[in-house]
A and B are shown apart, each in its own frame.
Chain A
Amino acid sequence: MFDLKGYGWMLWDGVQVTLAVGVCSLAVALVLGLFGAWGKLSSSRLARAAAEVYTTVVRGVPELILILIVYYGVPTLIQDTAASFGYDIFVDLNPFLAGFLTLGFVYGAFATEVFRGAYLAVPKGQIEAAYACGMSRALMTRRILLPQMWRFALPGLGNVWMVLIKATALISVIQLPELMRNADIAARAVRLPFTFFFAASLIYLGITAVSMMLQHRAEAWANRGVRRD
């Protein structure tokens, strides 16, 4: 159906970079999300305010602007700061690093809301019961809280992953050779833009479809011990 003129391997290379940058972003997002949820639910006013500012800012600013700030802005900021202290340095960020740190930062805010909701969904009586059995806070978290939080968080985290993997296409703007960027290069080389962008879009669609299937299975597995009425 598609005559890719021998440029199919570029799309395949791109898919691998897309998945790698997606997985790295997800890892950063999960860590930031756990910290963010801890901050939002914390009794410390400072932690609550920091988590609130984090989710508010990320919700209000486009991902593209954040990617451009991190990739172009941060090195310049470091150079300017160093120059004001009399040092002449040159800083260059790797697009892969800049890309996954930015997307991890953005989707960490979404994961924060997911984990916060999951924590609140764990019945308070179970937490009290765990303390009454003499469990320490760490043991209660490990044995009672986290196993159940994962179950409640799974649908939300699946959504975060599916939105995130599509957002990785934006990293093509800072020349990371992922799927979108490679499709662009190939499309320009053989002057078949529709063919290559449509092929790329079907690959993204395939990733989404497989993710949905895996999410469905993971949810069924996580809920295997739960009675349905």
Chain B
Amino acid sequence: MDLSIVWESLPRLFQGSLLTVEITALSVVIGLALAIPLAMMRLARNPFVWMPVYAYIFYFRGTPFIVQLFLIYYGSGQFRDALDAAGLWPFFREAYFCAVLALTLNTAAYTAEILRGAIQAVPHGEIEAARACGMSRALLYRRIILPKAFRLALPAYSNEVVFLLQTTSIVSIIALMDLTGVARVIIARSFEPYKLFLTAAVFYLVMTYAILFAFRKVEHWLSGHLRERPSAEKEAAAAAEAVALR
């Protein structure tokens, strides 16, 4: 089989991957920053606080990402006059802005729901103990609840980041030159679909497992105090077990 087309396209596919990584990282950071207050608002007792947040989370988790993207990118055109008057049209005209906005709103909703579950899973005893020590509500969240919740949320959150990375492939539909977009453009000229799409698939596979590897490292690092101290005896037993499992 002639693979020269794959070899020649590698630099451009790398460039596309950079955009994929860029919009993923941007959405992850902004989305997480939004998700923390959203999760806390979702748990508020006041219905005027939690109900709008609940509706937002339900809408973004219950509809396909491609609809959300089209709603922002194409749908904004229907309000062009209003957006022009507000000075926002130059943003909504840009595919890049709309893609990051849609991805951010999408991941913030999923992440808020993950964090909500994690905050609710923090053991009551720890919260009572902190109160008994006289901590204020803000200090309680900062020192006890949020750190514990982050640790509890990490496995689910790593999955969310992986899903977000894969969701970014959809922005190629609004003509952004991410990894998928670059592959599609090269294919439109060369008519070599399976070679290039399979190469792009390998790129995504590598990025996915790089993210999962990084999260596993972070999880390991954050749970040091929960592990037993290594001893020669235990390590030997673990090694023996690992062999037996194979």
Contacts and interface: CB of A to CB of B under 8 A. Distances in A.
Interface residues of B, number: 40
B50 interface: no
A121 to B, nearest CB: 19
Contacts of A197: 67, 70-71, 74-75
Interface string B77-100: 111000000000000000000000
B78 A68 contact: no
Contacts of B78: 191-195
Nearest to A78: B194
Interface string B180-192: 1001100100011
Contacts of A69: 193-194, 197-198, 201
Interface in B180-221: 180, 183-184, 187, 191-194, 197-198, 200-201, 204-205, 208-209
Interface residues of A, number: 40
Interface stretch (B3-11, B57-65, B134-142): B57-65
Interface in A199-229: 200-201, 204-205, 208-209
B194 A77 contact: yes
Given A172-B66, A180-B64, A194-B78, A62 B166 contact: yes
B193 A57 contact: no
Contacts of B204: 60-62, 65
A4 interface: no
A180 B58 CA distance: 19
Contacts, number: 116
B157 to A, nearest CB: 16
A143 interface: no
Interface string A154-180: 000000000000111110110000001
A193 B209 contact: no
A187 B58 CA distance: 24
B29 interface: no
Interface string A46-74: 00000000000101111111101100111
Interface of A: 57, 59-66, 68-69, 72-74, 76-77, 166-170, 172-173, 180, 183-184, 187, 191-195, 197-198, 200-201, 204-205, 208-209
29 contacts: A59-B208, A62-B169, A62-B204, A63-B166, A64-B170, A65-B180, A65-B200, A66-B201, A68-B197, A72-B187, A72-B194, A72-B197, A73-B194, A76-B194, A172-B66, A180-B70, A184-B70, A187-B74, A193-B77, A193-B78, A194-B75, A197-B71, A198-B71, A198-B75, A201-B68, A204-B64, A205-B62, A208-B63, A209-B62
